[in-house]
Amino acid sequence: MSERLRSEVITIGDELLLGRTINSNAAFLGQRLAECGVPVQWSSCVADDVAEIQAAISLALNRADVIVLSGGLGPTPDDLTRDAIARLFDLPLVESAEQRVHVEEIFRKLGRAIPTASSNQVLVLGGALRLPNPLGTAAGIYLERKGKHLFALPGVPPELERLMDEQVEPIVQRQFGGAKYFARTLRMAGIGESLLMERLGDLDALARRVELAYLPHQGLLDLRMTSRATDAYEAEADIAFAEHYIRERAGEHVYATGRDTLAQVIGNVLVNRGQWLTVAESCTGGLISAMLTDTPGASRWFNRGFVTYANEAKQELLGVPAATLEQYGAVSEETVQAMAEGALRTARADWAVSVSGIAGPDGGTDEKPVGTVWIGIASAHTTVSQKIQVGSRSRELVRTRAAHFALYLLFKQLTGKR
């Protein structure tokens, strides 16, 4: 693969180093910078310390074309990124009339004047470009020196993502318009890395044309195909060849191309059909409903959800027969089918998903160990169910994997994939 422009991500914050906050910004920036044609070659995390921040920036300037910093632009004493940049480049901090108006407006909506503690949010770096932040008081920073491009963004994820979309990406595209990154991501469910690799078989033919990256996340799997070509037509042909090869061998597990979530794909199918979905959850405790309602516009296709954790709730809200629970137990094929059919009937929906399982760490038996989950799917025409075993991992992971697999089974029923 030909040499590409290179970028570096520096995330800043003691809470990241101490493990108190998950460093989601590094992952987001890595993905977006690659899509801009300046893939990340280095990523570091440094403490809330001026000297450490300056050292990280200095190192990055010696090896990267684009440097993106995250965090440390807020009003508190440990927000030191702006000061570190000012001292490193010998730039003054000056009040910006535009920034003052912006900060005043934010606090006006809260019914307050700018607090003394936030008064420094009206200051910007003289000689640098202010990147307006529509979601918060901390403006971003853009600075170009000797062909190197430095961006500093707020650490709050929605604010960082908004500035990346509206400010950073357009600047990078203007500066490096010739940079190209040819890649496509197949989003998959119901299959792990090992089984997928087994399905794909000998990859020599693919390896000469594309690089494959397996990116598992809690029961889902993204497969990124990156072309080795630099010509757009050749790259598109390579990626199309790879996608066809993969779909021939594991196409039933592909639910999207690009960034769409499983819930978004399901929602699009339901909207196009004018149909409604309901869910009945036990061990997932509302997690499936949360995944669905995280999708904008879910009110057009998601009817309602039932969290029926106790057996009494399954009987009262879903009409699960007491005899079914007594004979087969809550975690059984018979119970999840009754749950799905009861939810479908009660919500007057077109589709219903039900889940019941043993999330752990206790409650398992030899017959039904921790990680045993039954999933039901009901429609007006049929009711199907499947048992999965996600292992005795953490309670959170069992619940998340169960929720993802339930949505995958619904996707298969909706699309007719087998």
- The total number of structural domains in the chain stands at 3
Query: Residue 180 above 70 pLDDT?
Result: no
CA distance 229 to 234: 6
216: left (phi over 0), alpha (psi -120 to 50) or beta: beta
Mean pLDDT of 81-85: 98
Tokens read off for 416? 């007719």
pLDDT reported for residue 3: 55
Containing H/E element for 414? helix 395-415
pLDDT digits (tens, 9 = 90+) for 91-103: 999 999 999 999 9
Residue finishing a domain among 225, 257, 289 = 257
316/407 same-domain check: yes
In a domain, 1, yes or no: no
Boundary residue ending a domain (124, 142, 175)? 175
Please give the pLDDT value at position 1: 39
Q: Please return the burial class of 50, using the count of CB atoms within 10 Å of its CB with bins 0-12, 13-18 and 19+.
A: middle
Check residue 178 and give its pLDDT: 58
pTM of the entire predicted model: 0.77
In 3D space, the residue among 229, 224, 179 whose CA is nearest the CA of residue 39 turns out to be 179
Please indicate, yes or no, whether residues 99 and 248 belong to a single structural domain of this protein. Answer: no
Mean pLDDT along residues 100-109: 95
313 and 330 part of one domain: yes
Q: What is the largest CA-CA distance in the chain?
A: 77
Sequence-separated contacts (24+) of 129-133 with Cβ below 8 Å: 130/96, 130/98, 130/99, 131/163, 131/167, 131/168, 132/98, 132/102, 132/167, 133/102, 133/159, 133/162, 133/163
Looking at every residue in the chain, the average pLDDT score rounds to 94
Residue 247 belongs to some domain of the structure: yes
Q: Is residue 225 part of a domain?
A: yes
Q: Are 317 and 308 in contact (CB under 8 A)?
A: yes
Residue 204 pLDDT more than 80? yes
**pLDDT score, position 228:** 66
3-state secondary structure of 298: helix
Q: How confident is the model at residue 13 (pLDDT cuts 50, 70, 90)?
A: very high
- Whether 365 has a pLDDT exceeding 50, the answer reads yes
Say which residues have a Cβ less than 8 Å from residue 143's Cβ, sequence separation at least 6: 85, 89, 125, 127, 128, 129, 149, 150, 151
Kindly tell me the burial class for residue 15, based on how many C-beta atoms sit within 10 Å of its own C-beta (0-12, 13-18, 19 or more): middle
Judged against a pLDDT cut of 50, whether residue 27 lies above it is answered with yes
Residues 6+ positions from 129 with CB-CB distance below 8 Å: 141, 142, 143
| Cβ 410 vs Cβ 275: under 8 Å | no
> Do 391 and 331 fall into the same domain?
yes
State the pLDDT at residue 4. Answer: 65
Domain termination site, one of 130, 157, 175: 175
Domain check: are 343 and 299 in the same one?
yes
Q: Binning pLDDT at 50, 70 and 90, where does residue 158 land? A: very high
pLDDT-based confidence at residue 227 (cuts at 50, 70, 90)? confident
Contact (CB, 8 A) for 102 and 42: no
User: What is the 3-class SS of 29-79, one letter each residue?
Assistant: HHHHHHHCCCCEEEEEEECCCHHHHHHHHHHHHCCCCEEEEECCCCCCCCC
- Tens digit of each residue's pLDDT (9 = 90 or more) over 328-347: 999 999 999 999 999 999 99
| Mean pLDDT score, 114-134 | 96
Range of 287's domain? 262-415
- pLDDT the model gives residue 302: 98
The CATH number linked to 359 is 3.90.950.20
* β pairing state of 351-357 and 277-281: parallel
pLDDT at 2 over 50: no
**pLDDT for position 369:** 94
